[in-house]
């Protein structure tokens, strides 16, 4: 791994593009396969989602697609 690749991973963390956990995964990929960390994150859809609206939409979509599970979980909470 080149210094530039490690620096790119650190930049991605600093920008908030990826989390520390995702950075570990990117590090493993770069270490084993090589490549540009920024391109890897883009190509593999590894960007961290921090937009609350986007997260809420995904949750709403999942709930809408699984009404029986929602009903079941409401009837027998943990």
Please name the residues in contact with 22: beta carbons below 8 A apart, sequence gap of 6 or more: 41, 46, 48
Can you give the pTM of this predicted structure? 0.66
| Amino acid 49: pLDDT | 80
What is the pLDDT, as a whole number, of residue 77?
A: 65
Degrees, nearest 5: CA angle 55-60-66: 130
**What is the reported pLDDT for 78?**
63
Look at residue 39 in the predicted model and tell me its pLDDT. Answer: 96
Percent of the chain with pLDDT over 70: 96
Inform me whether the pLDDT recorded for 55 exceeds 90.
Answer: no
In the block, tokens 């650190």 appear at 10
């Amino acid at each position: 791994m080149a210094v530039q690749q490690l620096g790119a991973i650190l930049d991605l963390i600093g920008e908030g593009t990826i989390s520390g956990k995702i950075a570990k995964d990117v590090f493993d990929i770069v270490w084993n396969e090589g490549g540009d960390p920024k391109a890897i994150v883009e190509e593999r859809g590894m960007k961290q989602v921090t937009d609350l609206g986007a997260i809420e939409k995904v949750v709403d979509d999942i709930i809408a697609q699984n009404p029986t599970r929602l009903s079941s979980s409401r009837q027998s909470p943990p």
